[in-house]
C-alpha cells in the first residue's frame, strides 16, 4: 500500500503542476486555494484525479480538502475502499 500511496502522490502533484505552470514542484502542504487555481480549475483538477484513479470524490469530502496532501489522502482512501469492497 505504501508504494501505491507514493505513486498516487507523485501523479496528483503532477496533475497540480500541469495546472499551475509557474510551479516546478508542488509541495504536499501547499494549500490548493493559494496555488492561484480558480474554482473551475479546481474542479478540473478533481475530475482529472477521479478519471485517473476511477474514483468519485463525494462533495462532503471536497470540503475536507485544503492541501495537496489532503487530496492525496482522500484519493488513497477511496482507492483503498474500492479495493476492499
- What's 7's domain CATH number? 1.10.1200.10
pLDDT at 17: 92
Q: Which neighbouring-strand residues pair with 31?
A: 67
Q: What is the mean pLDDT of the chain?
A: 88
Q: Is pLDDT at 24 greater than 80 in this prediction?
A: no
Nine cell digits for residue 72: 492525496
Query: What average pLDDT does this structure show over 19-45?
Result: 88
Q: Which of 47-51, 56-60, 78-82 has the lowest mean pLDDT?
A: 78-82
pLDDT at 27: 92
Domain of 73, in residue numbers: 2-84
50, pLDDT greater than 80: yes
Q: How many structural domains does the chain have? A: 1
Task: Look at the alpha carbons of 32, 37, 38, 40 in this order and tell me if their dihedral is positive or negative.
Answer: negative
The band of 84, judged by pLDDT with boundaries at 50, 70 and 90, is: very low
Q: Which residues partner with 67 through β-bridges?
A: 31
Amino acid at each position: 500500500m505504501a508504494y501505491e500511496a507514493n505513486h498516487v502522490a507523485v501523479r496528483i502533484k503532477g496533475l497540480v503542476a500541469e495546472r499551475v505552470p509557474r510551479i516546478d514542484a508542488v509541495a504536499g502542504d501547499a494549500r490548493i486555494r493559494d496555488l492561484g487555481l480558480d474554482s473551475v480549475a479546481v474542479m478540473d483538477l478533481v475530475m482529472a484525479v477521479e478519471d485517473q484513479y476511477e474514483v468519485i470524490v463525494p462533495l462532503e469530502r471536497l470540503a475536507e480538502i485544503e492541501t495537496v496532501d489532503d487530496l492525496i489522502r482522500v484519493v488513497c482512501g477511496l482507492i483503498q475502499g474500492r479495493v476492499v469492497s
